[in-house]
Amino acid sequence: MMGAYVLLVTGATGAIGQALLPALTDRDDVGRVHALTHAAPLPPGLAHCSPLDGDVTGGPDLGMLPDPAAALKRTVTGIVHLAADTRFGATDAELQRTNVYGLTNVLAFARQCCSLDRVVVLSTTHVAGRQTGAILESNLEHDAGFVNAYESSKYEAERVLRAEAGRVPIAVCRLSTVIGDSISGTIARRGAIHHAVLALYAGLAPMVPGREDSPVDLLALDDAARAIALLATERFAAGETWHLCAGHDTVAAGELIDLAMNAIRDHRPSWRRRAIERPAFVDLDTFDLFRRSVERVGDAAMRAATAIVAQFAPQLAFPKRFDDSRCHAALSGAGLARAPIRDVWTLVVKQLVQPRMMGAVVDDAPSVDRIRQR
């Protein structure tokens, strides 16, 4: 099995891709990784890894030049599709272009690969939308609706995958919210939950829609990367949908806020003197009234912060737990111990409120950088 897998990884320079590439190239059974890069260069020093300029929205050859595209079609044995637009605030058109149209191009490319025996597609537990209760890995369809357009676009993408399953060997890995590295707390790219912490720090998050006891499912980046690498290689199984998530290690929303506030107090003692109150949990109607009021009379910082919270926090009004039985069984015996997520969350929050981090440029939500820091 030495070097048996020749893999194409899309979205290779994204937050997950940056962690996944070394997890793949460190494996003895991976002979070569071809990393499709679009907006950013590949990090140096990765053995057995070749960068390829391309774009999943660039047609059935993924924006590659004819010669490298033809060579890949002859040699690649597997595709790990990570490329996605994960912005909760992106427009429907932007999300459809990458998350649905881009996926159809990847599948068209896969059908042309003569040695291909696997395609692993990264999805999200957020496809559960406004469902509540226990969400099983076998729950594939629902009509409960969605909190934002991102969820809807990824749900549509999964439907495309199921329609293609007879022609291409596909497995779907639904990832929960990835927050940072389990050892250092380093954040590859800030998402909505990180911006919400900054809003809390700035005293710009007086209300949160949802319930105190709503479970929040979080995952460490390095834990996710190791699991995806295994599922894409020796533990691959066509037709499976896996929940790669916290499982039983979820954190209640109220506890998550308390942990964040305690981490900020410990790491930034001067913050205590500001006496910022703990956000109140309110129902969706109350939060919507607050949001509309802020839009009318709030300052720019409060509007930006409220918009960030409004993009994802309403999920807390639809409490759910993700069953990961199939994923747990697929990974069993591999020695992949996950870090306690409360410890990881505390590390991540401390990273976020370091002075050098507070003014950092944010790729996916530049308006949040203007949230005032008192």
Q: How confident is the model at residue 46 (pLDDT cuts 50, 70, 90)?
A: confident
Domain membership flag for residue 222: yes
Summarised one tens digit per residue, pLDDT across range 242-296 is 999 998 899 999 999 999 999 999 999 899 888 899 999 999 999 999 999 999 9
Average pLDDT, the chain: 91
**Residue 328 within any structural domain of the chain:** no
Which residue type occupies 351?
A: Q
Task: Report yes or no on 323 lying in a domain.
Answer: no
CB atoms within 10 A of CB 203: 19
Strands (DSSP E) along the chain, which ranges? 5-10, 30-37, 49-53, 78-81, 118-124, 133-135, 170-175, 177-180, 207-209, 215-216, 218-220, 241-244, 251-252, 280-282, 320-322
- 126, part of any domain: yes
In a domain, 185, yes or no: no
Q: pLDDT at residue 4 above 80?
A: yes
**In this structure, are 151 and 27 located in the same domain?**
yes
Domain-located, residue 352? yes
Residues 260 and 149 in one domain: no
Q: Which residue range is the domain that position 240 belongs to?
A: 5-180+216-244
pLDDT over 70 percentage in the chain: 94
Question: Tokens for 297?
Answer: 């009379």
- For the ranges 4-13, 307-316, 322-331, the lowest mean pLDDT is seen at 307-316
Q: How many Å is the maximal CA-CA distance in the chain?
A: 65
Strand 118-124 to 170-175 pairing:
parallel
- CATH number of the domain enclosing 166: 3.40.50.720
pLDDT by residue (tens digit) across 113-164?
A: 999 999 999 999 999 999 999 999 999 999 999 999 999 999 999 999 999 9
pLDDT range class, residue 365, cuts 50, 70, 90: very low
- 167 and 207, same domain (yes or no): no
Structurally, the chain folds into a number of domains equal to: 2
Q: Is the pLDDT of residue 26 over 50?
A: yes
The percent of residues above 90 in pLDDT, for the chain, comes to 81
The model's confidence at residue 363, banded by pLDDT at 50, 70 and 90, is: very low
Q: Tell me whether residue 314 is in a domain.
A: yes
Helix intervals (H) in 44-121:
66-75, 92-95, 102-111
Residue 23 forms part of a structural domain? yes
Residues 18 and 165 in one domain: yes
Tell me: do 119 and 262 sit in the same domain. Answer: no
Q: Is the same domain home to 210 and 223?
A: no
Cα 344 to Cα 150, 221, 223, 259, distances in angstroms: 25, 10, 11, 11
In sequence order, the β-bridge partners of residue 7 are: 33, 78
